[in-house]
Amino acid sequence: MTTKLERRIKIKYRVRNKISGTTQRPRMSVFRSNKQIYVQIINDETGTTLVAASSLGMEAMPKKEQAAKVGELIAKKALEAGISTVVFDRNGYLYHGRVKEVADAARNGGLKF
């Protein structure tokens, strides 16, 4: 019997074997904790984080709204850094709820994936 965390990590590695970020198309990785949500745009060729955003300081609003704000923020920062196309890495989480809100808000903000 596997735990929830072990299951998510297995899914994460299965997804990460198929996708990786390049210079032309970096990887947008989402990490979701119980209270916050974090998003990074990563170039896996050099192993560097190009842009990052999180929901720290947004505790007053509901979590789904926080996720949407983070998606808008990451899209704005990425476009300022000259990044318009990314590969989405849901990091083993289901594409549902806060993860989906981040992705939809980033798409509406101008990112393509």
What is the CATH classification number for the domain harbouring 77? 3.30.420.100
Is 53 domain-assigned? yes
Is 78 domain-assigned? yes
Q: According to the model, what pLDDT value does residue 81 have? A: 95
On the question of pLDDT at 1 being above 80, the answer is no
Q: Exposed/middle/buried for 109, CB within 10 Å: 0-12, 13-18, 19+? A: middle
Is 113 domain-assigned? no
Query: 86 is in which domain, residue-wise?
Result: 4-108
**pLDDT per position as a tens digit, 7-55:** 999 999 998 888 888 889 999 999 999 999 999 999 999 999 999 999 9
**pLDDT per position as a tens digit, 51-83:** 999 999 998 999 999 999 999 999 999 999 999
How many domains does one find in the chain?
Answer: 1
Is 44 domain-assigned? yes
Q: According to the model, what pLDDT value does residue 30 have? A: 97
